[in-house]
Amino acid sequence: MLWPIVITLIGWSLIRGSSGRGGTHWAVMSGIERKNPGWGLEDGNYIVFMGGADFDLSVATTPDGTTTLNLTAVMGGVDVKVPADVAVECRGTAILGAVKFFNAESGGIVASRAFARHGAEGASKRLVIRALAFMGGVEVRQA
């Protein structure tokens, strides 16, 4: 019963968001780390299955305009650190897991959470995060 749900959620995650310039990145029983200074942030899908992903956007080269990240955690976790000057819009759903956006958390059998934060005055950078956690967690916090 578990595997059909997992496969359906992964398929839904791939369909719901375009891959954009950054493509789709997988971590299957492994991890993705983007914490080195100067890494380039791009639109993309990140799917974590029994693994983890760690993003530090405070050291990333963030383009002007809107950047969209689709984050899916299946029995794993995703951690995103966002600098204070970037405007952020987060929407997430958790099934037997949790989503936490800037200390506002939702979790349980089925839960959802939305959050928006304005960036610095006159900021030209905006980040949109769509999160799905199935028996895992997604956390977005200030760097």
Structural domain count of the chain: 1
* Residue where the block lists tokens 């980040």: 127
Contacts of 47 (CB under 8 A, 6+ apart): 10, 13, 14, 24, 25, 26, 27, 72, 74
pLDDT tens for each residue of 83-120:
988 999 999 999 999 999 999 999 989 999 999 998 87
Prediction pTM value: 0.85
Look up the domain containing 15 and give its range: 2-142
Contacts of 122 (CB under 8 A, 6+ apart): none
